[in-house]
């Protein structure tokens, strides 16, 4: 099972005897919009054209819980998540391919959740919808109910205390843009900066200009240079557990297992008692 799948590989899989379930997870980070500019509507984008047979999944409603003290995109209620996946046709014995508009963050969040809760065969379309050269459809499918029942793994998930400890004992990557890590700007959360000891590793540096992941060897070399050496425990966080999932995916492509701090900076920074580091260095 590969963490990513190319558009040509997906086309072949869809033509095979057991085609994968397709999940469309188009989403964009909610930031201040210019006057009169409507918010991004992933469902509307889906209805305008999607991979034939794909089911739309709403990241904010089905891949995350209600925003609050646990962060902007905390873990969803697993019973509700499982029901949403079954409605989409997800079954344990059938492969799943997730995609988004091309950035890869939202698709990676779905990939991580499904993998963490026990699905054995989930891949992300490398490059997203923009990499797909086949036909699109406006038909909304009604898939047969799936049988997927989420069972969370004992490993792979960090809380705030676990992230702080890992920053000291292993390596904790901060997947946000460098200016947010340094604390130069903070457009969303209460304060800028990073978890003390965390290493800046922007997830955007894991992809090329076309939005596809760099080769596994290049990713491995990048993460090794940043501290993910053999035997080192690795964790990732971001703003709210979405772009961080994309970095966990990049690490998986490189053959490196990593845990995700889902609450991420939106949870960490909401508590004034937690320490905040600023500047380009981990400490």
- Do 112 and 13 belong to one domain? yes
Among the listed residues 238, 256, 259, 262, the single catalytic one is 238
Enumerate the H helices of 104-215 as residue ranges: 105-116, 160-169, 178-182
Within a domain: residue 240?
A: yes
Within a domain: residue 235?
A: yes
Within a domain: residue 146?
A: no
- Do 23 and 122 belong to one domain? yes
**pLDDT tens track for 78-129:** 999 999 999 999 999 999 999 999 999 999 999 999 999 999 999 999 999 9
Beta 21-24 vs 55-56: how paired, if at all?
parallel
Within a domain: residue 143?
A: no
Which pLDDT belongs to residue 39?
80
DSSP H or E stretch at residue 19: none
- Do 190 and 76 belong to one domain? no
CA dihedral (31, 263, 23, 3) positive or negative: positive
> Residue 40: which pLDDT band, with cuts at 50, 70 and 90?
confident
Residue 50 has pLDDT above 90, yes or no: yes
> Residue 33: which pLDDT band, with cuts at 50, 70 and 90?
very low
Which pLDDT belongs to residue 31?
54
- Do 108 and 215 belong to one domain? no
Within a domain: residue 126?
A: yes
Which pLDDT belongs to residue 138?
98
Which pLDDT belongs to residue 283?
84
Cβ distance 150 to 122 under 8 Å? no
- Do 9 and 122 belong to one domain? yes
- Do 113 and 219 belong to one domain? no
In the predicted model, what is the mean pLDDT of residues 204-219? 97
Q: Which two tokens stand for residue 16?
A: 């095979």
The mean of the pLDDT values for the chain is 95
In the predicted model, what is the mean pLDDT of residues 21-31? 88
Would residue 239 show up in a list of annotated catalytic residues for this protein?
no
For 92, the domain range is 4-131
- Do 10 and 117 belong to one domain? yes
Query: For the domain that residue 29 is a member of, what is the CATH number?
Result: 3.40.250.10
Q: Which two tokens stand for residue 253?
A: 């492509």
- Do 166 and 214 belong to one domain? yes
The vertex-151 CA angle with 148 and 152, nearest 5°, equals: 135
Within a domain: residue 63?
A: yes
Within a domain: residue 277?
A: no
**pLDDT tens track for 234-273:** 999 999 999 999 999 999 999 999 999 999 999 999 999 9
Residue 1 has pLDDT above 70, yes or no: no
Within a domain: residue 42?
A: yes
Closest CA to 22 of 60, 57, 49, 62: 57
Which pLDDT belongs to residue 36?
59
- Total number of domains in the chain: 2
């Amino acid at each position: 099972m590969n963490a990513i799948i190319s558009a040509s590989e997906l086309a072949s899989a869809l033509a095979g005897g057991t085609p994968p379930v397709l999940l469309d997870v188009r989403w964009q980070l909610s930031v201040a919009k210019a006057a009169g500019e409507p918010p991004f509507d992933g469902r509307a984008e889906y209805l305008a054209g999607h991979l034939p047979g794909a089911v739309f999944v709403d990241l904010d409603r089905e891949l995350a819980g209600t925003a609050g003290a646990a962060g902007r995109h905390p873990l969803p209620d697993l019973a509700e998540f499982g029901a949403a996946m079954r409605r989409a046709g997800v079954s344990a014995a059938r492969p799943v391919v997730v995609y988004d508009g091309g950035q890869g963050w939202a698709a990676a969040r779905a990939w991580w959740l499904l993998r963490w809760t026990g699905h054995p065969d989930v891949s992300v379309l490398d490059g997203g919808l923009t990499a797909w050269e086949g036909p699109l459809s406006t038909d909304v499918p009604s898939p047969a109910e799936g049988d997927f029942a989420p069972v969370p793994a004992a490993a792979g998930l960090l809380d705030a205390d676990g992230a702080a400890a890992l920053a000291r004992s292993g390596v904790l990557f901060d997947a946000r843009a460098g200016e947010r890590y340094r604390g130069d700007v903070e457009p969303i959360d209460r304060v800028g900066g990073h978890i003390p000891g965390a290493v800046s590793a922007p997830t955007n540096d894991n992809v090329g200009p076309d939005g596809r992941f760099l080769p596994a060897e290049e990713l491995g070399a990048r993460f090794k240079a940043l501290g993910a050496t053999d035997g080192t425990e690795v964790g990732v966080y971001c703003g709210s557990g979405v772009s961080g999932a994309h970095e966990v995916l990049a690490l998986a492509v490189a053959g490196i297992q990593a845990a995700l701090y889902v609450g991420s900076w939106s949870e960490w920074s909401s508590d004034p008692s937690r320490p905040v580091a600023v500047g380009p260095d981990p400490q």
